[in-house]
Chains A and B, each alone.
Chain A
Amino acid sequence: MSIRILFFATIADVTGKCEMEMAAPAGADVAAILTRLAQEYPGLEARRASILCAVNYEFARPDTPVRDGDEVAFFPPVSGG
């Protein structure tokens, strides 16, 4: 399945990009996507404890399932306001 991945703020600094496409195995969850990303961008591993994820604009957990065509965003704790 194909998913669109977005990175923001310090997470985009770590990966060096704001977005990418990923071909992920069917049945993958957020944790599996992040593990694959951390293989490509090792700097993500150290940030795993604080990194936040959203799937289709809703906050997601490590076990949130990801489906074909989903938009999955990874970002640090927010600091707006």
Chain B
Amino acid sequence: MFRLVKDPIDAASLRSGFASPQDGAAVIFEGIVRNHARGKRVRCLEYHAYEPMAVQKLEEIGAQARKDFPIRDIAIIHRLGRLDPGEISVVIMVVAAHRAAAFDACRYAIDAIKRSVPIWKKEFYEDGESWIEEPG
């Protein structure tokens, strides 16, 4: 499952049904909107995407993770639009027979997202706003 969503991500409901008895490990990464960045207080964020390319890149990252690590499945969901501090911006779920592969694949996926998926973050502060042009 590789999706961009506009509504809040319910990680618990996504997780239920993803792991099965053949899995010995489920690693779940949640990216959270931080209330501070670059020395400023962050009021909220907006995520914008080049949607069809972003979905294609998420699918490619998933396919590469399954090729490089002995995992059973991986899912990536990234939120778009306006988010408040504390909300989930991205969820990566990996299930595998053993924990090492699940951790490694999850780490690979978040690093690849930050490098190569066309999504951009705009930070809104008390006194203005700014597009961010570097991986966080």
Contact residue among A8, A10, A13 (Cβ-Cβ distance under 8 Å from B118)? A8
Chain A residues with CB under 8 Å of B2's CB are none
Which residues of chain B from 96 to 126 have a CB within 8 Å of any chain A CB? 110, 113-122
Q: Is the CB of A81 within 8 A of B133?
A: no
Chain A residues with CB under 8 Å of B90's CB are 80-81
Q: Is the CB of B114 within 8 A of A75?
A: no
Contact residue among A13, A57, A75, A81 (Cβ-Cβ distance under 8 Å from B135)? A81
A76 to chain B, nearest CB (A): 4
| Given A10-B133, A50-B133: A81 touches B50 (CB 8 Å cut-off) | no
Given A79-B120, A80-B78, A81-B110, 16 other A-B contacts at CB below 8 A? A9-B131, A50-B133, A54-B50, A57-B52, A57-B53, A76-B133, A78-B119, A79-B136, A80-B49, A80-B54, A80-B90, A80-B118, A80-B119, A80-B120, A81-B113, A81-B136
| Given A8-B118, A57-B56: A79 touches B135 (CB 8 Å cut-off) | yes
Q: Is the CB of A75 within 8 A of B118?
A: yes
A29 to chain B, nearest CB (A): 19
Q: How many A-B residue pairs have CB under 8 A?
A: 77
Sampled A-B contacts (16; CB under 8 Å): A8-B50, A8-B120, A52-B118, A54-B50, A73-B118, A75-B118, A78-B115, A78-B116, A78-B118, A78-B120, A79-B121, A79-B135, A80-B89, A80-B120, A81-B31, A81-B114
